[in-house]
Amino acid sequence: MAYLGKGRREDLFVLATELNLKFDKSMTIATLKDLIIGSENYDEELTKNIHSTIVEDRKAREENLRIEKQKEKLRIEEQKEKLRIEEREEKLRFEQLRLDEQKRKDEFELEMLRIQTQSKLGADTSKESDTKFLVKEVSKFIHRFDLKEDISLYLKLFERQAQRLNFDQENWVSHLLGLLPTEVSHIIAREPDDKANSYEHVKDLLLKRFKLNSRKVSTTICHSPKST
């Protein structure tokens, strides 16, 4: 009879059903044992085999259920891991897109800066070349100023040549400086920038300066002792 204690109460319920015994769900294991053993057609060997099969089937079902639950758990974990991987890959993809976009933006800005720099360099080089050419051209038609000359006549000659060569008046001072002696250029250089770049101001400055010098020379000549 000990074999009946190896299973569970539900196993005894199944066994009682197989043996066509009437039972109540409220019965205890001990009561069920007494019911089975005390049955009219009780055969210990047969009952033992049936009980063993019932227990093994139950254990097999429980094991299958445990395996299914474990598989389901693994499946859920795999899905979660797959989602985590997809989310991580999505973030990496968006980050790469952002980096690519930033790279294209940086390259575009760098290219624009390069173009602007080249354009400015080309413009400056062209302007410098044009200036050198014009200075060279004006020097063909008017000589460098000599301190012994009349400054007013020289300036008139310079203005005519500058107009003939279509110089912008805002650049006249630059061209004039290339024709003046160093000491005269220094006089202009000491003026404020806005005045030093104004031809009219420079013209008045030179006329006053050389007119004063002319008067000093005349005074010196008038007061010098006559030779006997």
For the segment 32-85, what is each residue's pLDDT rounded down to a tens digit? 888 888 888 888 888 889 888 999 999 999 999 999 999 999 999 999 999 999
Residue 222 clears pLDDT 70, i.e. is over it: no
Say if CB 184 and CB 203 are below 8 A apart. Answer: no
Lowest-confidence range among 51-60, 131-140, 145-154, 187-196? 131-140
Phi, psi dihedral angles at 225 (to 5 degrees) = -65, 135
Quick one: pLDDT at residue 130? 56
In terms of pLDDT, which residue wins out, 172 or 123? 172
The mean pLDDT value for 4-32 works out to 87
In the block, which residue shows the tokens 């500058």? 162
Helix boundaries (H) for 142-225: 151-164, 172-177, 182-189, 193-196, 199-222
115's CB contacts (< 8 A; 6+ apart) are none
- The pLDDT tens digits for 93-120 are 999 999 998 988 887 877 777 787 676 6
pTM of the model: 0.37
In the block, which residue shows the tokens 């001990």? 30
Q: Calculate the CA 123 to chain-centre distance.
A: 31
What's the rounded Cα separation, in Å, for the pair 143 and 153?
Answer: 13
175's CB contacts (< 8 A; 6+ apart) are 134, 135, 138, 158, 162, 167
